[in-house]
């Protein structure tokens, strides 16, 4: 009798070394697809040209996202036109801004807006950041002093949000948001900026910095793909839900991958 051997999930794969990195703000840029694939699954249109920078438009064409690594200093840019609910706004973020922090902002663009009044400082207080009012300005600094969030009043009717991270070697990034940037988006960015969970980087993509902590972890390619696919599937489900009237809405973000039962080696 012929027996058909069923393929076992992960059979024949070789584990690959990755690293969990803290603090996330100093983990380096990461894989751009973490941002773009979620937006694509959420109904955003990819307007990129072959071998050119990433360009994507929101479903209603009021927001454009661009990522250009081919120019100096390069980085991320968001520009939005007035839509009856929000004024025109913009945000510029350096190329070394971790994609997980970028996604805090861009994922929020693809989700329904909360009915609760946004508070940019709330997620920073929750992570024990030092928040200091300075006249018309306000600055929040992470407990290790590497990362900041600032509201800077430049003059009559002129103000910006400014954020960034820098290690002792001077490596880092910065970001600016126009004062008209919707507060719920700035809050979503701040929440990911201050999040205490590590982010994952493949071997060879971990920045050289004396101020980061890393843990080695071995992953099968299928495990990594499954985690990435869960995030995309969640985005598609949320996009579908917005066109219907379900009683409950599905989760729109996947938890950071934390391999169960595998040994982590701290470096």
Considering only the C-alpha atoms of the chain, give the largest distance between any 2 of them, rounded to a whole number of Å: 85
pLDDT value for 239: 85
Residues 19-23, mean pLDDT to the nearest whole number:
97
Mean pLDDT across the chain, nearest whole number?
87
**Residue 62 forms part of a structural domain:** yes
From CA 118, how far away is CA 242, in angstroms rounded? 22
CA dihedral in degrees (41, 44, 45, 49; nearest 10)? -80
From CA 219, how far away is CA 101, in angstroms rounded? 23
Lowest-confidence pick of 46-60, 127-141, 195-209, 253-267: 253-267
**Residue 162 forms part of a structural domain:** yes
Considering the entire predicted model, what is its pTM? 0.84
**Residue 12 forms part of a structural domain:** no
**Residue 11 forms part of a structural domain:** no
From CA 56, how far away is CA 29, in angstroms rounded? 19
Q: What domain range includes position 118?
A: 30-266
**Residue 4 forms part of a structural domain:** no
Please provide the distance, in angstroms rounded to a whole number, between the alpha carbons at the two ends of the chain.
53
Nearest to 223 by CA among 187, 264, 172, 258: 258
pLDDT value for 266: 54
Q: What's the number of domains the chain is made of?
A: 1
pLDDT value for 261: 43
**Residue 2 forms part of a structural domain:** no
From CA 121, how far away is CA 123, in angstroms rounded? 6
**Residue 165 forms part of a structural domain:** yes
């Amino acid at each position: 009798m012929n027996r058909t051997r069923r393929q076992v999930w992960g059979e024949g794969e070789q584990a690959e070394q990755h690293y969990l990195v803290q603090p996330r703000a100093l983990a380096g840029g990461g894989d751009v697809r973490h941002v773009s694939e979620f937006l694509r699954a959420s109904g955003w249109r990819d307007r990129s040209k072959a071998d050119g920078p990433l360009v994507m438009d929101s479903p209603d064409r009021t927001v454009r996202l661009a990522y250009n690594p081919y120019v100096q200093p390069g980085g991320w840019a968001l520009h939005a036109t007035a839509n009856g609910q929000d004024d025109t706004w913009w945000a510029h973020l350096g190329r070394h801004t971790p994609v997980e922090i970028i996604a805090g902002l861009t994922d929020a663009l693809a989700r329904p807006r909360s009915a609760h009044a946004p508070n940019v400082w709330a997620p920073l207080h929750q992570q024990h950041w030092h928040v200091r009012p300075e006249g018309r300005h306000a600055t929040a600094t992470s407990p290790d002093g590497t990362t900041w969030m600032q509201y800077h009043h430049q003059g009559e009717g002129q103000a910006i949000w400014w954020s960034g991270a820098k290690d002792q070697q001077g490596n880092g990034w910065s970001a600016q948001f126009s004062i008209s940037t919707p507060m719920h988006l700035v809050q979503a960015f701040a929440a990911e900026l201050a999040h205490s969970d590590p982010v994952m980087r493949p071997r060879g993509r971990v920045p050289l910095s004396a101020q980061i902590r890393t843990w080695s972890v071995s992953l099968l390619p299928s495990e990594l793909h499954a985690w990435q696919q869960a995030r995309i599937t969640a985005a598609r489900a949320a996009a579908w839900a917005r066109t219907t009237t379900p009683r409950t809405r599905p989760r729109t973000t996947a938890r950071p991958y934390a391999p169960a039962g595998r040994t982590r080696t701290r470096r």
